[in-house]
C-alpha cells in the first residue's frame, strides 16, 4: 500500500525547520512504510499532519505542537499498527 504523509506548516511563522525535522524523524522511523512525504507551506499559524488524507494532528485543535513520540504513534497507528516503536511506545487501545 502507498502511504502519503503531508505536513502543512505556517511559512509566516517560520516553522519550516520544525516541519523538516519531524519529516526526517518520520522518514527514518517508517522508511519501509512511507512512499511519499510532502511539506506544504501555508499561512495563518497552520500546522497539520495528514496520513493518506486523514488528519492525525492539528495544532489548532490540540493547542500545541506534537511531541515527536506522539506524532510517531499516531502515524504508526494509521500505516503500520503492528510496528513497535521501542521504549516510548503506546499502542492505540
Alpha-helical segments (H) within the chain: 16-29, 59-62, 68-79
Residue 38 maps to a domain: yes
The set of long-range contacts for 81-87, using a CB threshold of 8 Å and a minimum separation of 24, is: 83/30, 83/33, 85/29
Tally of structural domains, the chain:
1
| pLDDT digits 0-9 by tens, 26-69 | 999 999 999 999 999 999 999 999 999 999 999 999 999 999 99
| Domain limits for position 80 | 4-88
> Does the pTM of the predicted model rise above 0.85?
yes
Q: Residue 21: helix, strand or coil by DSSP?
A: helix
Residue 74 maps to a domain: yes
Residue 34 maps to a domain: yes
Residue 93 maps to a domain: no
25: domain CATH number is 3.40.30.10
Amino acid at each position: 500500500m502507498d502511504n502519503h504523509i503531508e505536513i502543512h506548516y505556517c511559512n509566516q511563522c517560520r516553522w519550516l525547520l520544525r516541519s523538516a525535522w519531524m519529516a526526517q524523524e518520520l522518514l527514518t522511523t517508517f522508511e519501509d512504510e512511507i512512499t511519499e512525504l510532502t511539506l506544504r507551506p501555508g499561512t495563518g499559524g497552520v500546522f497539520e499532519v495528514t496520513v493518506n488524507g486523514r488528519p492525525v494532528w492539528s495544532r489548532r485543535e490540540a493547542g500545541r505542537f506534537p511531541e515527536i513520540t506522539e506524532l510517531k504513534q499516531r502515524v504508526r497507528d494509521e500505516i503500520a499498527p503492528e510496528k513497535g516503536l521501542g521504549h516510548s511506545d503506546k499502542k492505540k487501545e
